[in-house]
Amino acid sequence: MFITRNLKPGNLFNWLGRYVLILIIFNGIVAIAYGYFDFKFSLPGLFTSVVGTAVAFFIGFKNNQAYDRMWEARKIWGSIVNDSRTWGMRIVNFAKSPESKKELIYRHIAWLYMHRQALLRPTAWEQVSADGIIGDVAKGFSKKYGLGQVKDDISLTDIRTLLSEEEAAYLKSVANPAVQLLHRQSAEIKKLKDSGVIDTFEHLQLENLLQNFNTYQGQNERIKKFPFPRDYSTMSRGFIYIFIFLLPFSLIPELLSLGHWSWIGVPVAVIIGMLFIIMEDIGDYNENPFMETPHAMPMLSISRNIEIDLREMLKDEHIPQPIQSVNGVLM
C-alpha cells in the first residue's frame, strides 16, 4: 500500500515508464508519416471524441466496482484486527494455565500468517500471472517496490515455529492449513470446557469468535478466488488500446496547421493515452487486493501489528518490531 501523499518518481517510472516509451514511439512514427511522407488518412475529431467519452464511462464504472473489492478487503481485515484483540483478551482472562494461553494465542498468530500466505498465491487472472508488458511490469514492480523489498517478511518455516512439531507436520499434508488451525482451536477450547477450565458461556463466546474468523477467511477467499468479470475487464483494456491507436490519426493531422509547432501533437497524444492507461491500471490493480505489488492490502503489516498486541497481552519476552514502510510502500 502506498502511504506517501504523492508517489515517488521512481515508483511512477517503474510502473508507467514502458507505457510512456511505447506511446512516444508509436505517436512519433505517426507524426513522421504525416510530416515527411505526406500521409493522407485522418479521422474526424468528433469520432475520436465520442469513442474517448464512451471509453471513459466504461473505465469509470469498472473502477468503481474494482474499488469496492479493495474496500471490502480492507473492512474484512479491520474486523480480523478487532476480533483478534478480543480473542487475545478473552484467552488471557479465561484460560488458567500459561501453557494454554500461549498455545491458543500462538496458534491464532499462525492462522493470521497462514491465511495471508494463501491469499498471496497468484491466480491466473492477476497481473503477476499475465504475459507481456502487463506481467513484466507487475513482476518488476512487486520485486522492486512491493513485497520483494521487504526484509522482515515471515516464511512458512517461521510460522511453523509457533506450533507444536506434530501440528506443523500435519499442516503440510492439508489443502487449507488456515481452516485446520481454526478447527484445532475449536477442539482445544472444547477440551477446556470439558475439563471445567471455562464455563459454557465463556466457551460460547470463544466459539463465536472462531466462527467470525472462519467467516472472514471465507470472505477474503471469495474476493481472491472469484475474479472481476474477465469479459468486462478484457473489453475495457481492449477499447482503451483501440482509442489510443486511433487518437493520433485524428489529433496530429489537425495540428499540422500549426507549422513548426505541429510536433506538439506527439506529447499531447502521449498524455491523453497515459490518462486512460493510468485509469485502467488503477482499477485493474484494485480488482486484486491480495497481491505482492505495492497497490495491494498491507496484510503483513496488519498481521504483525496483531501479533505484537497478542504477545504483549501474554507478556511475552519476544515482541517483534512493526513492519516499516520502504520507499513509501507498506506491505
* 255-309 pLDDT tens trace: 777 666 667 888 999 999 999 998 888 888 888 899 888 888 899 999 999 999 9
250-288 burial code (b ≥16 CB/10 A, e <16): bbbbebeeeeeebeebbebbbebbbebbebbbebbbbbb
Distance CA 45, CA 257 (A): 15
Contact (Cβ atoms closer than 8 angstroms) between residue 287 and residue 227:
yes
Contact (Cβ atoms closer than 8 angstroms) between residue 80 and residue 306:
yes
Q: What is the pLDDT of residue 260?
A: 67
Q: What is the mean pLDDT of the segment spanning 18-35?
A: 88
pLDDT band at 49 (very low <50, low <70, confident <90, very high): confident
Please state, for a pLDDT cut of 70, what percent of the chain lies above it. 97
What does the mean pLDDT of the chain come to?
88
Q: Where are the domains of the chain?
A: 9-314
User: How large is the C-alpha radius of gyration of the chain?
Assistant: 26
Q: What pTM was computed for the model? A: 0.87
Q: Bigger pLDDT: 92 or 129? A: 92
158: buried, middle or exposed (CB in 10 Å: 19+, 13-18, 0-12)? exposed
* Length of the chain (residues): 331
Residue 130 has pLDDT above 90, yes or no: no
Please, how many CA atoms are within 13 Å of residue 149, restricted to the half-sphere of its CB? 19
Rounded to an integer, what is the distance from CA 281 to the centroid of its chain? 13
Q: Which of 76-90, 127-141, 162-176 comes out lowest in average pLDDT?
A: 127-141
User: Which residues lie below 8 Å from residue 21, measured CB to CB, with a gap of 6+?
Assistant: none
Distance CA 6, CA 155 (A): 31
- Digit-coded pLDDT (tens) for 236-258: 888 999 999 999 898 888 877 76
